Homo-oligomer: A and B are copies of this chain.
Amino acid sequence: MAKRFEIRLAGSGGQGLVLGGVILAEAAAIYDGKFATQTQSYGPESRGGASKSEVVISDEEVDYPKATNPDVLLLFTEAAFQKYLPSTKNEAIVIVDEDLVQSKIPPNYKNVVVAPLTRIAKEGVGREFVANIVALGLIRELTNIVSEKSLETALLGRIPKGTEEMNKKALALGKEAAHKYGNQLLSKKA
C-alpha cells in the first residue's frame, strides 16, 4: 500500500459517516496493525447539516490527520459533490450515490463509481441508514485498504447488539456493488 492513504466521506448528518470513518480506521489500526486517524471537521456549514468524516491510513504514524489529497472520495449529497469534488485529484476513486447526487462527474475523473448505495441498503436490508456500511464494503473491495476480516470485526465492535446480521449483509451488498458498478476499477487493479 501507499505510505499514506486518505479517504473522505462527505454528506450530511445522520448518514452515519462519522461511524463509517471510525469503523474503517479501527479496522486498519486495531485489526490490520497499521496506523490510522479519523477526523471530523466542523465549521459554520455544519449548521446546514453538512458532515465530513476523514480517515488516513498509513504504514507509519500519521502526522497530519486531515485528508489533504483524498485517494477516495465518497459523495452522499449534491452539496458534498459541489464542495469537495473540485479540489479532488483526477486519479482519486470518486464514489457517488446516484440517487442523492444529481450532477454528473466531469470526464477528467477516470475512476468513478456511480451506484445507488442508499437504495441498495433499503432494498437489500430494509434500512436506508446502513448505506454507510454498504459504502464501506464497496470501498474495501475497490481499494483493499483493509482486509475483509478486519472490516467485519471492526464493524461488529461498533454496532448495536441485534443488528449484526443486517450490517454483515450490508457489507456484502457493498462488495457486490463494487463488482456491479465498479468493475472497470477492479479489472484495473487485477
Contact = CB atoms under 8 A, between A and B. Distances in A.
Given A35-B41, A39-B39, 14 more contacts: A26-B42, A29-B42, A29-B43, A29-B46, A30-B47, A35-B44, A37-B39, A37-B40, A37-B66, A38-B42, A39-B40, A41-B62, A43-B61, A65-B66
B33 A44 contact: yes
A160 interface: yes
- A-B pairs with the 8 shortest C-beta distances? A29-B42, A39-B39, A36-B42, A37-B41, A38-B40, A30-B46, A29-B46, A35-B43
**How many copies, total?**
2
Query: Main SS of the interface on chain A?
Result: mixed
Contacts of A170: none
A112 interface: no
Interface of A: 13, 18, 22, 25-26, 28-30, 33, 35-44, 46-47, 61-62, 64-66, 157, 160
A83 B124 CA distance: 45
Contacts of A30: 13, 42, 46-47
A40 B28 CA distance: 13
Nearest to A60: B43
A5 to B, nearest CB: 14
A46 B26 CA distance: 9
Nearest to A62: B41
Nearest to A58: B43
Contacts of A25: 40, 42
A39 B65 CA distance: 8
Contacts of A157: 13
